Amino acid sequence: MKSPKDYIIFPLDVASGEEAKRYVTMLAGVVGMFKVGLELFIRSGPEIVTFIHSAGPAGVFLDLKLHDIPATVSRAMAGVAALGVRLATVHCGENRRMLEAAVAGGGRVGVLGVTVLTSVSAQDIAAAGFGAELAADLPRLVLRRARMAQQAGCAGVVCSGLEAGAIKAEFGAGFVTVTPGIRPLWAVSGADDQQRVSTPAAAVKGGSDYLVIGRPIRDAKDPRAAARLIAAEIESAL
């Protein structure tokens, strides 16, 4: 059975492999997964994934957001699968073929389509050339991309907590939703580059399966205590 801590994905968005290992050692027993992003993977490579596996039961979410021609994405995902990670990301992008290639190459890896980054606002979408109907209605764009991911065979999507409920209603409980931009009430700050945020309790109630929570844990005086506090908030929402 999934425990409250298993909802928490801690992003290792730090400057060095050594700092990442310090957080892994510190938090391995109080979070469900560690997110390894592009910056850390470029610095440390597969070795950081191996270290996480050796540190305890927490899994690995490899967040490289692949976006390339289908053949390249398929081969890259085959390499990802060899690392034994649980989840990996690919941008939904412009066509379904790339997503299908990612699924075909990923084997047992849960492939997640990245819908719209939580740092992106409606103004950004309009500036990128999208039609007014999508720029004015980001959840509609997210749902459209989630449908493409579901049809391609992806395990789920990355979306904000504001859209998880609609995705669950449309595609069912088995379609995984991973939600970044999570801020506990005690950690909300005006200086934030995330535009579409949610609290842990609200995100879980809304249908999020996993919550990517970085700053509130990383910047706390006691990161382990902060992770446990967030797990308690999640438990209250279950």
Catalytic site residues? 65
Query: How far apart are the C-alpha atoms of 237 and 190, rounded to whole Å?
Result: 25
DSSP the chain: ---GGGGEEEE---S-HHHHHHHHHHHTTT-SEEEEEHHHHHHHTHHHHHHHHHHSS-EEEEEEEE-S-HHHHHHHHHHHHHTT-SEEEEE--S-HHHHHHHHHHHTTSEEEEE-S-TT--HHHHHHTT--HHHHT-HHHHHHHHHHHHHHTT-SEEE--TTTHHHHHHHH-TTSEEEE--B--GGG--SS-S-SS-B-HHHHHHHT-SEEE--HHHHTSSSHHHHHHHHHHHHHHH-
- Direct distance between the N- and C-terminal alpha carbons of the chain, in angstroms, rounded to an integer: 12
Count other C-beta atoms under 10 Å from residue 128's C-beta: 10
The tokens of 214 are what?
Answer: 């970085």
Contacts of 203 (CB under 8 A, 6+ apart): 161, 164, 179, 182, 211
